[in-house]
Structure 1
């Protein structure tokens, strides 16, 4: 449980105590040193060894006062998880004594065995060297695990030759690319005050909680994070009584400790509530810069699971832990702002601000349409394949919801061909001034992959277990590419306002096919989307190769986000990850059937048969019981047959280990359908088998026992 002192102390008194914030730095560093570090963070000066030594000394003193004995470089390899290498502060001296040391060299750079992490062929396995480099834009923090405290230093991870081996490096590159092009556009529009651009994101994290005693009895949950078999309980989510419902006592106490732990780390958890499915919940944090918010979300998922265990529960982050009820996503709320706090996606009250708003709005529309296949890749995982387009998450077709009011404004502007200035010195663009638009000028469309919600775009496709880095790398890079085109046109324009009108009109007219304000779940929309020429990549295996299309490669190389080698390696890693995930799921399904389900159901059939024989000896009618035996025996026979065939399918897929794409296609086309077939037979057998004979906790146990 959390320290009782925190329970009695106002949040304002302990918020961020485990984070090396500017306030904490001020206790150990002089103002000039802090100013220099801020300049490094803004890219205005190089990080010198002298400055690093000052910061390292202060960081060590702070960590020691908090009780830390070790430090680690914390990074995000392409496993989708986080990784860390721990070192103690001690340094041996003569006479068997030790000193507590931590230098700028140790702060700035670390070294790990990069060959043990996925690299997608970027390097040979005997080339082991990989480096971690301090990310000055993300504060160090102390992780407290049952009183054991360690200083964590957020870092980037790259190879000996400088290739990115993680998700942070390309995210920082994409932020830099987007900042560069956005500043060019603003300068061309006459805004010379903005010096920095911040990509803001706000993730909404969904998750399930299950009792640990039931979790421990489910090999599928323990090894894959989801149930590969399980019959629906009599009650699911059909009454809609879970969404925003009363939070039970046990979960309330858990959430309280979760908030305390997050607040101590400086993570601004703000909103929490029940979600649509039983035992499903959501936590959302306040918006922050993309890199920091990504780090915080990775840390949030870790803390979430750690705190749940303290309360005898397990937090499930898989996109679809339970068949038949809603899965979990992670909405990515994306916006752009300047260093003076101006939101570039917020409509203004004057002509200049609205012109700026429309430029960035239509640039985003074009970017999402031009690079829709790549944006789809941002949500492509094996787990997310269970959600997208299943009436619980957006379809796999990229579209944008603007709302009728904003769509009407753009339609009107783009139809008016007049570029003549009026006496009031602004263009007659159908609507010369946007009406005073409220912040919530649109309703929320939960069926849209990308929805404009007043001053930001909500990318709703991201899976609950995913890092926020990948989706935002693709969005940032695509928008940067389009803004580069805008900048070039404005910089060479004779009349900026006329060219702005031309850009807004062209971008909207040429890419409005992506705008859809209706029901994304309807069959009619899929038909209409096809007529519009919108691409649909229904699954991960068909989506991921789009990363290597000629258009994608040109985009990444032009914006200096990925080299061809780096993006090629990622494609290989992501396809391998898909295959490995399906392989584990199929293998545990075979094991559960062979070792548990088939013996249990066989025993139950034998028990029924014995009971029938005894009753017939005394002349009782056993017709209905015989019918049940026939049903269960048939389900058992089909289970045995389907289990063996699934094993054959997995063996076939494994034989293609040297053909990454082909192997993934076999898992998708043969293994996954056979798993679905086997599940039908197993779930039917569960329906007719007495609970005392069934070897695993049921959906009723897992979803309604907290």
Structure 2
């Protein structure tokens, strides 16, 4: 009973019943909101009127901030932060590692006569120079070329973490290429703002800005920290590479929306308090479907801020969990046999006049406006479905998408049967000028009834990767560990391109003499016809849908290498270049980074699996087998040759089965290591990733199956790995 597993369980037994991490929540969480954020209210308090006006113009209009004003803002930030006990500052950025990054510098500055002061200037606020050589760059930089720059993003407010002032920033190379998620997102926001604002001039000339909004839903698992440390695979890969399914999993659905365990509730309470202080407007918490799986979600925010908040949340979750003796698992599929974790991205468009463009209005004009943005979004997804699929591709997410868990790998759009009927009616619109009767019928019986239809259109299709849910589109296929920025960048880009094309087509029809509304109806009718293949109302998990989708010409890109190969299609690279979101060099670099990350992830998993199999599973199995052999020898000595054979029949059978499984594991490990070596010899990134996917990863199950069989044979006290029943049902 001296294995790491049992030591972890003993530790757990001691602390499970303690409540020394109980958290008291203030009567009003709103009093904590933005307490540690250099918010608009804080800026009003600390800045001069001139400086405040300048920074607000930079935030809302993208105006350039004069250097003297930047100095004023820097001093104000420093004074505010130091009043809260801050000693250091950092440019907080999101490199292509998938994590956040920060380099802390002190306000402390030595001056003459052996004295020192705290100093922070506009130069330091606007730009820093972290070492860029070790961050993923896809061949843009040589390893010996270290210089990179972070630049302040004033549209996302600075915040305090501990004793550090964090300044949200973009990250670029010395030669100007983007090396992060934020810079392309900001470019995509500008593109969709311009395109959507231009289209809005058809409906409301008072609109001068359109902003994408994002509401994310973060799913995650909580595992006791001692149990986590007892599993080398969890520590090194974020997932369990081995483990027999427990007798009870999620079959009874009793965990979903159930009572939240006390330890977990204490964690959630403290997490919510920290979120409030950081301006993250979390409002929802609950148990998810799988045991020890949970979810939290905030109010909708402007997409750039929402992305920053989700990245920040993932950092904060890990820190708070540690205080409560938990480890947060954000891997998309940490346990076999139970649901994995996603991060639904709810996307919409909002105007500076306070309208949600994916919400219908109270009159036909507003409903036509709704239909315009609604149908254009569907058309955009129809045109760029494979790009959207590539944007959510990762080694971790393949476990969900390729296996038809959560949404499938086939991108389709669900809008509900009633809205589908509305589009079918619009499809019948006569080409060219509408008669008075047709106009009346459209306004009263089709467009006018949309708000009534949406009142009852509340059901959801959990199998749809892209579903309309009343006033937004829910992108359900995003992985739980992903940075939301990539999906948001793609959504903004394809929407911007589609709205540009729409306006050009409508304007061309207006020039032929059609009325504006008639031109809009004519274009929307064609878009409905062109987008019918992407719309699907049924069960996305069914085999019939996969067959039907193939007939419709929809892609079923089950693996990351397949999806990333499609990402480089000229249609998609042209889109990014046309909108000036990426240069071609940046597109190639990012594709290379993703392929390399995929290969590296599978490679690490392969090495860990081989290590556990050889150094944990096989020795434990042989240990137990030796005990059985000694038992058989004892029976033979006591009962003699004849009687012993009958009495030891079960032991002999078990000994034989253990030998067979050990042999299968050994052969599987040898094949796996050989496949790894072959993969490493492949120079082309796409071919190497494909080989890892098709030849290396497929050997995992060859090792896992006999290992999991052994788990059910070997004496529980001898089994070295913490079992699923312990990981999933610890409270």
Q: TM-score range by the shorter chain?
A: over 0.9
Q: Secondary structure at the match of 2:401?
A: coil
Q: Secondary structure at the match of 1:213?
A: helix
1:314 and 2:314 are equivalent in the alignment? no
In structure 2, the residue matched to 1:368 is 381
Aligned match of 1:449 in 458, 462, 465?
465
Aligned match of 2:526 in 488, 491, 506?
506
**Cα distance, 1:165 vs. partner?**
0.7
**Cα distance, 1:114 vs. partner?**
1.2
In structure 1, the residue matched to 2:723 is 698
In structure 2, the residue matched to 1:545 is 565
Aligned match of 1:415 in 428, 431, 439?
428
**Do the aligned partners of residues 263 and 540 (structure 1) sit closer, same or farther apart at CA in structure 2, a change above 3 Å counting?**
same
1:143 and 2:161 are equivalent in the alignment? yes
In structure 2, the residue matched to 1:686 is 711
Aligned runs of 1:208-287 on 2, under 5 Å?
208-287=221-300
1:133 and 2:151 are equivalent in the alignment? yes
Q: Secondary structure at the match of 2:284?
A: strand
**Do the aligned partners of residues 24 and 432 (structure 1) sit closer, same or farther apart at CA in structure 2, a change above 3 Å counting?**
closer
Aligned match of 1:172 in 177, 186, 208?
186
Q: Secondary structure at the match of 2:403?
A: coil
Q: Secondary structure at the match of 1:209?
A: strand
Worse overlay, 37-46 or 358-367: 37-46
Q: Secondary structure at the match of 2:467?
A: strand
In structure 2, the residue matched to 1:574 is 594
In structure 1, the residue matched to 2:90 is 72
Worse overlay, 216-225 or 490-499: 490-499
Does structure 2 retain, via aligned residues, the 8 Å contact 1:420–1:428? no
Q: Secondary structure at the match of 1:628?
A: helix
Q: Secondary structure at the match of 1:266?
A: coil
In structure 2, the residue matched to 1:434 is 449
CA–CA distance in 2 between the matches of 1:10 and 1:428?
49
Does structure 2 retain, via aligned residues, the 8 Å contact 1:442–1:452? no
**Cα distance, 1:119 vs. partner?**
0.6
1:160 and 2:186 are equivalent in the alignment? no
CA–CA distance in 2 between the matches of 1:336 and 1:87?
38
In structure 1, the residue matched to 2:638 is 618
Q: Secondary structure at the match of 1:579?
A: helix
Does structure 1 retain, via aligned residues, the 8 Å contact 2:344–2:477? yes
**Do the aligned partners of residues 555 and 670 (structure 1) sit closer, same or farther apart at CA in structure 2, a change above 3 Å counting?**
same
CA–CA distance in 2 between the matches of 1:520 and 1:423?
40
Calculate the TM-score normalised by the size of structure 2. Answer: 0.93
CA–CA distance in 2 between the matches of 1:617 and 1:280?
53
**Cα distance, 1:33 vs. partner?**
2.2
Q: Secondary structure at the match of 1:281?
A: strand
Does structure 1 retain, via aligned residues, the 8 Å contact 2:402–2:559? no
**Cα distance, 1:439 vs. partner?**
5.0
CA–CA distance in 1 between the matches of 2:62 and 2:270?
40
Aligned runs of 1:561-640 on 2, under 5 Å?
561-619=581-639, 621-640=647-666
**Cα distance, 1:643 vs. partner?**
1.2
Aligned match of 1:402 in 415, 425, 449?
415
**Cα distance, 1:4 vs. partner?**
9.6
1:359 and 2:369 are equivalent in the alignment? no
- Over the residues paired in the alignment, what is the CA RMSD in angstroms? 1.7
CA–CA distance in 1 between the matches of 2:205 and 2:218?
37
Structure (1 or 2) with the greater helix fraction: 2
Q: Secondary structure at the match of 1:154?
A: strand
CA–CA distance in 2 between the matches of 1:336 and 1:475?
11
Q: Secondary structure at the match of 1:241?
A: coil
In structure 2, the residue matched to 1:461 is 477
**What stretches of structure 2 of length at least 5 have no aligned partner?**
1-18
Q: Secondary structure at the match of 1:99?
A: strand
The aligned length equals 700
CA–CA distance in 2 between the matches of 1:383 and 1:93?
51
Calculate the TM-score normalised by the size of structure 1. Answer: 0.97
Does structure 2 retain, via aligned residues, the 8 Å contact 1:405–1:442? no
Could you list the per-position Cα deviations for residues 622-679 of structure 1 after superposition, in whole angstroms to 9, with x for gaps in the alignment?
Answer: 11121111112211111111111111111111122x3211110111011111011111
**Do the aligned partners of residues 8 and 174 (structure 1) sit closer, same or farther apart at CA in structure 2, a change above 3 Å counting?**
closer
Worse overlay, 48-57 or 35-44: 35-44
Could you list the per-position Cα deviations for residues 390-417 of structure 1 after superposition, in whole angstroms to 9, with x for gaps in the alignment?
Answer: 3531111110001000000100111231
**Cα distance, 1:124 vs. partner?**
2.2
CA–CA distance in 1 between the matches of 2:166 and 2:650?
65
In structure 1, the residue matched to 2:196 is 182
**Cα distance, 1:45 vs. partner?**
2.4
**Do the aligned partners of residues 672 and 458 (structure 1) sit closer, same or farther apart at CA in structure 2, a change above 3 Å counting?**
same
Does structure 2 retain, via aligned residues, the 8 Å contact 1:427–1:498? no
Q: Secondary structure at the match of 2:449?
A: coil
**What stretches of structure 1 of length at least 5 have no aligned partner?**
none
1:646 and 2:672 are equivalent in the alignment? yes
CA–CA distance in 2 between the matches of 1:421 and 1:193?
30
Q: Secondary structure at the match of 1:78?
A: coil
Does structure 2 retain, via aligned residues, the 8 Å contact 1:389–1:521? no
Q: Secondary structure at the match of 2:92?
A: strand
In structure 2, the residue matched to 1:473 is 489
CA–CA distance in 2 between the matches of 1:428 and 1:506?
16
Q: Secondary structure at the match of 1:112?
A: coil
Q: Secondary structure at the match of 1:331?
A: strand
CA–CA distance in 2 between the matches of 1:27 and 1:557?
42
Could you list the per-position Cα deviations for residues 453-506 of structure 1 after superposition, in whole angstroms to 9, with x for gaps in the alignment?
Answer: 011000000000000001111111111111001122233424211110111100
Does structure 2 retain, via aligned residues, the 8 Å contact 1:426–1:497? no
